Structure 1
Amino acid sequence: MTKPTAKPLGLWMCVALVVGNMIGSGVFMLPASLAPYGWNAVIAWLITIGGALCLALVFARLAHAFPRPGGPFVYTEEAFGRPAGFMVAWSYWISVWVANAAIAIASVSYASVFFPALAKTPGLAALVTVAVLWAVTAINCVGARAAGWTQLLTTILKLMPLAAVAALAGLILLRKGPAAIAPFEPSALSGGGVTAAAALTLWALLGVESATIPAEQVDRPERNIPRATLLGTAVAGFVYLIVSAGVLLLTPVSVLKGSNAPLVDFVAYHGGGDLRLVLAAFAAISALGALNGWVLLQGEMPAAMAREGVFPAWFGKTSANGTPVRAHLVSSGLVTVLVLMNYAKSMADAFTFMALLATASCLFAYLSSALAVLKLGREGRMPLSPSLTVVAILAAVYSVWTFYGAGWSVTFWGVALMVAGAPIYLLMRRARRRGAETS
């Protein structure tokens, strides 16, 4: 009997995929956005990380029970039927390639520190963004292993400056003691402040489901995907909490508010010198690493949907090394169109618009997966302990709460993207029926 060939993505590449997708451009900019919220932001981080860990456990248990490629699509379909699965997968796929447009723009935005012409020459940033996107797409078309090694390397590189910032925060506390921390004032805490801050932290922790999508490329998926999902989410959450909370609580709001480079200003304020260029370089690398991981997903998701028969079979065709090249080309083509359509906007405005659009769609995948655990467990199709029941309920409540925190406009865009997929589903169902009748 022939020994099965190991698949290209092992445990640590899967961990890097989760960490790399969750830690992108947000960690370098969020302290500025969160500065006005003070301790409200720290509480928001704790709630968001707690919610992300609940979602991670939900995805880990689902991946163990149903180790098939497609992630949220598979779990929603198993629990609520094919139409619901398709709608969630459709909106999630759109969110992935829209997020890629935002992340690619962010990487070029950081590069403009070294090449000011990118920010000043009309259309140049869009062209460079498209070039970066297709370079990363080419890496993914070579094969999942090439993408995995790229993800592992960029994840290690992006953690280096964040570890340095965390170490500086620790030294400040050792040298100055509790007096260095912003005073805790209970009267300044508010439900509205925590909710608003949590809406900002949500974008930073998207990607908890990353390892579940390319299950077909993962070695021993029933073992490695759950472990990578939990470990990757815990690492990303810890990094965000330490870095963001450290910067927020050890730096005056006046220094951070409106800052274009809050980590740089944090280092400079505490006598570390101006490391703007160094941190800008690492921020660009961080965004590129996240782009690499999300490009992997933008190809694997439609390919998995094609293999399930809810997308044209053309998308499911793979190259000799098992890569869904066609799905990658179509997805990156859509990203290219989106970037070029928004070239007249500033990089910041384009990034904000696309981040909002991407966030909207992920929320439905998170909520449906949490509810799927409860339904599938009740039906006896997967183990459901009392503790997992509580975690799934918390994950569902967290997802609904983030809808509220993100605002009605985000919810509207999410619903609109889901509804936009209905005609595609109906056309594919009609095509399947015709094929069954003629066979």
Structure 2
Amino acid sequence: MSVPAPVPHLKRSLRRFDIMAMGVAAVISFDVIGQIAAGGGEAVVWIAVIAVAFLVPYALVFAETGAAFPQEGGPYVWVEVAFGRPAAALTTMFYWVTNPVWLGGSLVFVAAQAWDGFVFPLGSGTVADHAFKLVFIWAAILTAVVSLRRGKWITTAGAGAKVLALAFFTGTAVAFGIRHGFRGLEGAGFAPTGAGFLALVPVLLFAFVGFEAPNAAGDEMLDPQRDVPVAIGASGAIATCCYLLPVLAILSAVPAGRVTGVGGFMDAARLVFGIYGGWRGPLLTGVAVLFVVALLTQGSAWMIVADRMQAMVAADGGFFGPGLGAFHPRLGTPVRMNLLSGVTATAFMVAAMNLANGDASAVFGVVLAVAITTLLLSYLAVVPALLALRLRHREVPRPYQVPFGTRGFTVATLLVYAWILLGSWVALFPGTLEQLFGIPYDFRATWGVSRLTFETFTLGTVALLLVVAATGYLTQHARARHRDHQGAGGTGR
């Protein structure tokens, strides 16, 4: 078994708490809490179902693999060892690009709306609006550029801000319900339905994947064999609570049908914070600032890990030139890849602002669908790679093992893969399974755009990524062959 060469200039600084905090910062998605709550009471049921039927086996197999294969690059290394460099390069392209797409097209829009509504008016399409979004994107990029020894405290602070804001909001919603009654829950509709399940499954899977992301910095962990399984288990439990309780709180306060994806959390906070009387305004402003900081560090946490993965692809000869895979000798970060992510996020922000004539709700929904699609598609190779490593490389020490050995690992992997297949199809082709099962589905009412616009944006993005990944790999492969040919010619052979 061969793995990519170690990266020079890296320093081990990530302890167990740091890994857990990075997982919390990356995985708990403020921007999808409102989207989930928009599904009504049955969203609570499906959170519980997916937490048990998807998150548990997912955490088990990734904990074992992350502890057994802790090399820098994480999922890229796993797919490369299992299926070869071309498959790994394509997979990592989808995994990486999700994050600048998400940062520039989803997180920044939610942050701008919160800032505009509760901190300082920005307007829509104004100079202030554009300036805020640019500062937000590049602040996230710059926090990924600093050394991980310092940058980890930024993501840790973001994880703390996230948990603090959610806990304060949930407690306030409970106090509001005690005073005024939990009237929102009466019409929430907790009975699960097929339509609700298909609408929620992609966003819930998106919300619960990513606990393996810190493994992208595997060579910067002090003791990954022991710390990764514990960190994944702890962050998974925290994430489940941080989705389930706030969604229940939102539904208890906001009348059914009035929860929106782009403004759900802060709209609910505006209502329940009324119990604080004259303190309502300042407290809302404070929570809005925490909300924006949490969103920014969420994007930063993903940039830290995903840019390292893509840099490893470039350094390993799978994405254009090796210069993109260079790690800064002093900072120990892939600065060039960080900057490429910033440019990509900025370009996607501009494209998103011209989608649906700037309708924030429609933009948010479509761009989030693109991010969900690209991320879930990457797991179509990552998850089978875990099983391939388990079966082909039994000689690798596994400090943590899934219960019932290979059989338990296989069952868990197949269950996770079935969920990923379902989520990928529903995200890429929404409404098709509803039509197959005779479930009514109004595409424009759901997405705010026509199916043609939606599929052009989503399928066009996927097609563009395939072209870029193939071009990047073939370009570097051709350069390597040319160098080998020149070397052979120079020796007279």
Q: Where in structure 2 are the equivalents of 1:388-403 lying within 5 Å?
A: 388-403=409-424
Specify the alignment match of 1:155 in structure 2. 159
Seen in structure 2, the aligned counterparts of structure 1 residues 32 and 375 have a Cα distance that, compared at 3 Å, is: closer
Seen in structure 2, the aligned counterparts of structure 1 residues 208 and 412 have a Cα distance that, compared at 3 Å, is: farther
Q: Where in structure 2 are the equivalents of 1:197-212 lying within 5 Å?
A: 197-212=200-215
Seen in structure 2, the aligned counterparts of structure 1 residues 111 and 269 have a Cα distance that, compared at 3 Å, is: closer
Seen in structure 2, the aligned counterparts of structure 1 residues 57 and 370 have a Cα distance that, compared at 3 Å, is: same
**Mapped partners of 2:349, 2:225: distance in 1:** 37
Match for 2:91: what amino acid?
Answer: V
Specify the alignment match of 1:303 in structure 2. 311
Alpha-carbon shift at residue 205 of structure 1 (Å)? 3.0
Say whether 1:42 aligns with 2:44. yes
1:104 and 1:291 in contact (8 A); partners too: no
Residues 130-139 or 258-267, more deviating? 258-267
Query: What is the aligned counterpart of 2:463 among 416, 419, 423?
Result: 416
Say whether 1:18 aligns with 2:23. yes
Seen in structure 2, the aligned counterparts of structure 1 residues 62 and 317 have a Cα distance that, compared at 3 Å, is: same
Q: Identity of counterpart residues, as a percentage?
A: 24
**Mapped partners of 2:109, 2:188: distance in 1:** 37
Q: Deviations over 1:67-113 (max 9, x none)?
A: 11222222222222221111101121211221221223322232112
Query: What is the aligned counterpart of 2:113 among 97, 109, 112?
Result: 109
What SS class does the counterpart of residue 64 from structure 1 fall into?
helix
Alpha-carbon shift at residue 379 of structure 1 (Å)? 2.3
Say whether 1:435 aligns with 2:448. no
Seen in structure 2, the aligned counterparts of structure 1 residues 432 and 47 have a Cα distance that, compared at 3 Å, is: farther
Alpha-carbon shift at residue 336 of structure 1 (Å)? 1.9
Residues 121-130 or 356-365, more deviating? 121-130
**Mapped partners of 1:265, 1:394: distance in 2:** 35
Alpha-carbon shift at residue 346 of structure 1 (Å)? 4.3
Match for 2:372: what amino acid?
Answer: T
**Mapped partners of 2:333, 2:406: distance in 1:** 37
**Mapped partners of 1:366, 1:155: distance in 2:** 25
Seen in structure 2, the aligned counterparts of structure 1 residues 194 and 168 have a Cα distance that, compared at 3 Å, is: same
- Total equivalences in the alignment: 432
Alpha-carbon shift at residue 259 of structure 1 (Å)? 8.7
Say whether 1:229 aligns with 2:232. yes
Query: What is the aligned counterpart of 1:363 among 376, 401, 409?
Result: 376
Residues 57-66 or 170-179, more deviating? 170-179
Specify the alignment match of 1:129 in structure 2. 133
Alpha-carbon shift at residue 123 of structure 1 (Å)? 4.4
Seen in structure 2, the aligned counterparts of structure 1 residues 307 and 120 have a Cα distance that, compared at 3 Å, is: closer
**Mapped partners of 2:29, 2:99: distance in 1:** 14
Query: What is the aligned counterpart of 1:190 among 172, 190, 193?
Result: 193
Alpha-carbon shift at residue 207 of structure 1 (Å)? 2.7
Q: Where in structure 2 are the equivalents of 1:230-245 lying within 5 Å?
A: 230-245=233-248
Say whether 1:98 aligns with 2:101. yes
1:44 and 1:195 in contact (8 A); partners too: no
Alpha-carbon shift at residue 223 of structure 1 (Å)? 2.9
What SS class does the counterpart of residue 213 from structure 1 fall into?
helix
Alpha-carbon shift at residue 148 of structure 1 (Å)? 0.6
Specify the alignment match of 2:322 in structure 1. 313
Specify the alignment match of 1:78 in structure 2. 81
Say whether 1:143 aligns with 2:147. yes
Residues 314-323 or 197-206, more deviating? 197-206
Query: What is the aligned counterpart of 1:336 among 346, 363, 367?
Result: 346
**Mapped partners of 2:177, 2:125: distance in 1:** 44
Seen in structure 2, the aligned counterparts of structure 1 residues 28 and 193 have a Cα distance that, compared at 3 Å, is: closer
Residues 128-137 or 169-178, more deviating? 169-178
Match for 2:111: what amino acid?
Answer: S
Alpha-carbon shift at residue 286 of structure 1 (Å)? 1.7
For structure 1, list consecutive stretches of 5 or more residues without a partner in the other structure: none
Alpha-carbon shift at residue 298 of structure 1 (Å)? 4.1
**Mapped partners of 2:258, 2:81: distance in 1:** 50
Seen in structure 2, the aligned counterparts of structure 1 residues 413 and 74 have a Cα distance that, compared at 3 Å, is: farther
Seen in structure 2, the aligned counterparts of structure 1 residues 132 and 246 have a Cα distance that, compared at 3 Å, is: closer
What SS class does the counterpart of residue 156 from structure 1 fall into?
helix
Residues 378-387 or 234-243, more deviating? 378-387
Say whether 1:324 aligns with 2:334. yes
Q: CA RMSD in A?
A: 3.2
Match for 1:370: what amino acid?
Answer: V
**Mapped partners of 1:114, 1:179: distance in 2:** 25
Residues 409-418 or 353-362, more deviating? 409-418
Q: Deviations over 1:126-146 (max 9, x none)?
A: 232112222232232221122
**Mapped partners of 2:109, 2:269: distance in 1:** 24
Residues 276-285 or 232-241, more deviating? 276-285
Q: Where in structure 2 are the equivalents of 1:239-278 lying within 5 Å?
A: 239-248=242-251, 252-254=255-257, 256=259, 260-262=263-265, 264-265=267-268, 268=271, 272-273=275-276, 274=280, 276-278=284-286
Seen in structure 2, the aligned counterparts of structure 1 residues 434 and 31 have a Cα distance that, compared at 3 Å, is: closer
Q: Deviations over 1:236-259 (max 9, x none)?
A: 122101221343256541554689
What SS class does the counterpart of residue 214 from structure 1 fall into?
helix
Alpha-carbon shift at residue 32 of structure 1 (Å)? 4.8
Seen in structure 2, the aligned counterparts of structure 1 residues 123 and 351 have a Cα distance that, compared at 3 Å, is: farther
Specify the alignment match of 2:427 in structure 1. 406
For structure 2, list consecutive stretches of 5 or more residues without a partner in the other structure: 1-8, 399-404, 430-454, 488-493
2:95 and 2:306 in contact (8 A); partners too: no
**Mapped partners of 1:21, 1:59: distance in 2:** 16
Seen in structure 2, the aligned counterparts of structure 1 residues 77 and 257 have a Cα distance that, compared at 3 Å, is: closer
**Mapped partners of 1:133, 1:183: distance in 2:** 39
Q: Deviations over 1:333-368 (max 9, x none)?
A: 222222234444344444333322221111122232
**Mapped partners of 2:269, 2:345: distance in 1:** 34
2:96 and 2:307 in contact (8 A); partners too: no
